Amino acid sequence: MRTLFFDVETTIHNKGHPFDPRNFLVSYAYTFDDDIVFRYYTDPDFISQIQDAINSADIICGFNIKFDIHWLRNIGVIIPLNVKIWDCQLAEFIYAGQELPYDSLNEALARYGLPTKLDAIKEYWDAGISTEHIPLPVLQEYNEWDVYTTKLLFNTQQNLLSDGQKTLTWLEGEDLRALQAVEYAGIKFDVAEATKQLEVRASSIGAIVTGK
């Protein structure tokens, strides 16, 4: 089974929210084995490189991976249904007896004595410097380190989780796939009809208040 470890970095409006039109995908990094591939948004193969990697994977693994999948979808990259999803954050939630709903990668790494995330890039973000303006070597090191540590965490989880917990994590990965699709598609909202109904209700309330 080929496992693809993957992480994205984005611009910082609204914490990099994938549905904020001011944001865009700045970089990503991934690895199957030891060599880590890094791509920047100006690279000509920025989209094709990751799509080809995903198409050759059996498993895609990340931390809070729904965020990353949303950004893949934003650039037109689709995860095939035969590729399984493992979210290390969900695995920690399950392993902890559902007591860590908002676990961070750093906290998870620290629990097992694994090397934690690099802090240098956070200083740029805290200063309001968006990701695309961070020096490329700094960004690349950070992005690649996230992938490296996610792989360490995944391997640790494979040794810790019971077979039942692993099965549940795989099932949660399928739920996550469906949830991401629902969130991406959104719910159609009829603005004109909503405005009309609001006016009708306002008129009705006004009539009750005035007694007319």
pLDDT tens digits for 194-207? 888 888 777 665 55
In this prediction, residues 53-79 reach a mean pLDDT of: 97
Residue 208 scores a pLDDT above 80: no
Residue 209 scores a pLDDT above 50: no
Residue 40 scores a pLDDT above 70: yes
Residue 98 scores a pLDDT above 60: yes
In this prediction, residues 135-148 reach a mean pLDDT of: 96
Cβ atoms < 10 Å from Cβ of 130: 17
Contact 79, 85 (CB under 8 A): yes
pLDDT of residue 205: 57
From 3-12, 72-81, 151-160, 181-190, the region with the lowest mean pLDDT: 181-190
Cβ atoms < 10 Å from Cβ of 82: 8
In this prediction, residues 93-109 reach a mean pLDDT of: 92
Q: Which of 104, 28, 122 is nearest to 69 (CA)?
A: 28
Cβ atoms < 10 Å from Cβ of 29: 25
Confidence of residue 120 (pLDDT cuts 50, 70, 90): confident
In this prediction, residues 82-96 reach a mean pLDDT of: 96
Question: Torsions phi, psi of 27, nearest 5?
Answer: -155, 165
3-state secondary structure of 170: helix
Which tokens hold the place of 132?
Answer: 């695309």
Q: Report the share of the chain in percent with pLDDT over 70.
A: 93
pLDDT of residue 210: 52
pLDDT of residue 134: 97
In this prediction, residues 62-83 reach a mean pLDDT of: 96
